[in-house]
Structure 1
Amino acid sequence: MKKSWHPIFPISLWILVGGGWLSGCSLLAPKVYKPTSPQIEQLAIDTMMTQKAQQLFYQQEPRIEPKKTFHKLCRKASHNTEKTILLGCFISDGYEGSIIIQSVTDPRLDGMMEMVAAHEMLHAAYQQLSNEERSQLASKLKRAAKRVKDEHLLAVLKEYESGDQDLYVNELHSHLGTSLGDLGDPELEEYYRQYFRDRKQVVAFSDRSRRVLAKIESQVDQLEPELNSLEINLKAEKDYIQRAEDDLKTYYRDLERMKTNLTRLKQQAEASLSRGDDSLVNDFEQARSRFNSEVGEFNGQIQQLQDRIQQFNQQYDAYSQKVNFYNELAATNRSILSSIKLAPSEKVKPVAP
């Protein structure tokens, strides 16, 4: 287990001067840590960190690094980067720590760096807690975790819950403190006030940073089954239209044969009539009536098929628009993720021990 680290200050020395005991030097004030950059200072200000939290944050010498450098430095952090997006890490040897934040420049992810800064600062805070303090917090944090509704956060916490329990509580300490608006515990809210003057501001950053991706994912999740259903229906309709066209072609060939037979019967009736025999005239009239009836039926089926094809084309256009929208969402999602997540070709190769 990692040791808690507490700063050790020099002890005052008392010396005898002129026959009396005087203080040779007073107890030195705690070291004041300075932000490593104006951007780091702004992150501390924007997340409403208290003076105590700011000093704790600055003590870890936080820095902001571009994607590739960040992942190289944080590759040993205990995160499953296949299932989560790594945006910050707190690395500690038990005595000294450092916070590294990935640079996020996509304006659509506004608020993400602020959320990460607050999250990693809370990891540094947990590092300094005693075992007794961690134990007291554990039950409160686990109760508060039951109030989480966000599916993404639930999945992340579930992943940690199955592993080392101190790491799980450590992650609860950071995730709940920055992402859960209502902890359901006044004592827990009071605990976090030592780190944030207004914790709701931090939660707002967390909500804002996840909103874009959550909206896209929600739309994609809704569209995907709808597109699958439309695709199945369109395929079935296309197959029906193809069969109907084949049947009409057969029907048309039958009508052509009927027309040929009718023409022949007409010629026979006319020849017979010229000889004074009208017996075939009635046969011809009946055959012509049947032919005209079949032609009417054929034309009716043609019209029905044309109406169905028109409806199919309208449905296909609507389907195509949804497909285009789905692809646009996917492209937007890829664009956002590519700015913060390593592509397979960018994966940092492990360094040999």
Structure 2
Amino acid sequence: MARGERSALRRCITLFCVLLLAGLAGFALMHRQEIRDHFTALGFDPAPRITEIKRELDLTPAGERVFLATQPTIDGSQHFNEQCAEVDHSEHGHVLGCFTADRIHLFGVTDERVQGIVEVTAAHELLHATYSRMGEGDRAALAPKLRAVYEDLAEDDPRLRERMQVYEHLPDAAFANELHSVLGTEARDLPDWLERHYAQWFDDRDALVDTFEAYHSVFVDLQQQAENLESEMTALRRDIEARKAAYDDEVRRFNDDAADFSARNERYEFSDDPDEFDRIQAELAERRETLEGTLATLQADIDRYNGLGEQLKELGEISSELDQQLNSDLAPVTTRPTD
């Protein structure tokens, strides 16, 4: 091969290597977050409970990569509050999870009555992580579309509007971030484009919503039962009060008539008319029997009212117990991190 040809070949190879390196550098720059997540996830040794949560969420490879890259922790002690100290509890109620400093932290709720609440919380925080990994332009384009979907759904779902009210004080960008997590984990019927969006991270989002609805129904049922009992008690109390007032009036009339009958008898007014005596006495006896029956019915309804009150009290105790289970402020002081 001539010297010139060899020189040209070396230049071509050099140029090819430069272009290859440039291409690799460009690819690495464009996908630097994915690459970083990949190696962070590889270096993370999840606790058994985190592995179980990951399995229950049925994540795509991309979803699993982001989830593990956030090095999620789960803790049932006060240490969780330290990890999520930046979250405003007063605005968000009980905090069961947070995404902060690119890490997910979960509160270890173990009550079987709300089984699945940790998994849904994990999915919620995972969506915060995926949202943070979008480009600023992508987030800016997605935010108004999420808001439009929300407004459409909220027209027929007041629960969703109530759910998002705690975030209404946030700037639009932060509200969209929360909406992105709420819709992805709690809303059943979404537009196809949004379903495809969430399908990047979840293989079975419907199952996730099923889990949410299952534990959420526990709270909804408790509230509905309490409202039904309160409504029944209010109507029953009004009925009892009205009937008791009528009963008291009838008792006063009976007592007046009985006293008058006794006074007339003491004046011997019936000595010449024993039939009238027997008639009035029989009438008073019948009225007394009717009053005793009315009193017995009233007492039965009063007992029923008190029984409903006991049921309402029991529901309140159950609700309070569940509330305590979800309140990380009441968690043991002993730190039991599993990260």
Which TM-score applies when normalising by structure 1? 0.77
SS at match of 2:268: helix
Report deviation, 1:346. 9.7
Classify 1:160/1:326 alpha carbon distance in 2 versus 1 (closer, same or farther; 3 Å): same
Q: What does 1:196-275 correspond to in 2, within 5 Å?
A: 196-262=202-268, 266=271
Q: Which residue of 1 aligns with 2:129?
A: 124
Asked if 1:44 corresponds to 2:54, the answer is yes
One-letter identity of the residue aligned with 1:310: A
Partner residue in 2 for 1:323: 309
* Structure-to-structure mapping, 1:272-351, within 5 angstroms: 284-285=272-273, 288-341=274-327
Moved more, 70-79 or 247-256: 70-79
CA distance in 2, matches of 1:289, 1:87: 82
Change (3 A) 1:39 1:305: same
**What residue identity is the alignment partner of 2:312?**
Y
Q: Tell me the equivalent position of 1:135.
A: 140
Post-superposition offset of 1:155:
1.1
Name 2:5's counterpart in structure 1: none
Q: Which stretch has the larger CA shift, 131-140 or 331-340?
A: 131-140
Shift of 1:217: 0.8
1:180 aligns with 2:187: yes
CA distance in 2: counterparts of 1:254 and 1:77, whole angstroms: 77
Q: Secondary structure at the match of 2:104?
A: strand
Q: Which has the higher contact order (CA 8 A, sep 6+)?
A: 2
Alignment of 1:70-149 (within 5 A): 70-81=80-91, 84-92=93-101, 97-145=102-150, 146-148=152-154, 149=156
Following superposition, the deviation at residue 325 of structure 1 comes to 1.8
Q: Hey, what does 1:8 align to over in structure 2?
A: none
Q: 1:155 aligns with which of 129, 138, 162?
A: 162
Q: Which runs of 4+ in 1 moved over 3 A?
A: 20-23, 25-30, 78-81, 148-153, 342-347
**2:37 matches 1:65:** no
Q: 1:224 to 1:342 in 2, by over 3 A?
A: farther
Greater Rg, structure 1 or structure 2? 1
Q: Output the CA distance in 1 between the equivalents of 2:330 and 2:73.
A: 25
> Which AA in structure 2 matches 1:51?
P
Unaligned runs of 5+ in 2: 1-12, 29-34, 334-339
Query: Does structure 1 residue 31 correspond to structure 2 residue 36?
Result: no
Q: Following TM superposition, by how much is the alpha carbon of 1:259 offset from its aligned partner in structure 2, in angstroms?
A: 1.5
One-letter identity of the residue aligned with 1:155:
E
Tell me if structure 2 keeps the 8 A contact 1:74–1:100. yes
| One-letter amino acid of the counterpart of residue 306, structure 1 | E
CA RMSD of aligned residues (A): 2.8
Alignment deviations for residues 287-341 of structure 1 (CA, whole Å, 9 cap, x no partner): x333333222212221221221122123223323322222221111111111112
Q: CA contact under 8 A between 1:90 and 1:98: conserved in structure 2? A: yes
CA shift, 1:39, in A, is 0.9
SS where residue 74 of structure 2 aligns? Answer: strand
- Write the distance in 2 (CA, Å) between the matches of 1:69 and 1:125: 25
Alpha-carbon distance in 1 for matches of 2:302, 2:89: 44
CA distance 1:192–1:345, shift in 2 (3 Å): closer
| 1:228/1:48 CA distance change after superposition, 3 Å | same
Q: Secondary structure at the match of 2:153?
A: coil
Query: Structure 2 matches for 1:5-20, cutoff 5 A?
Result: none
* Contact residue 67 and residue 341 of structure 1 kept, 8 A: no
- Higher percent of residues as helix: 2
The one-letter code sitting in structure 2 at the alignment partner of 1:297 is E
Deviation sequence 1:218-241 (CA, Å, 0-9, x none): 111122122122122222322332
The one-letter code of the counterpart of 2:127 is L
Instruction: Tell me the SS of whatever aligns to 1:86.
Output: coil
Percent identity of equivalent pairs: 24
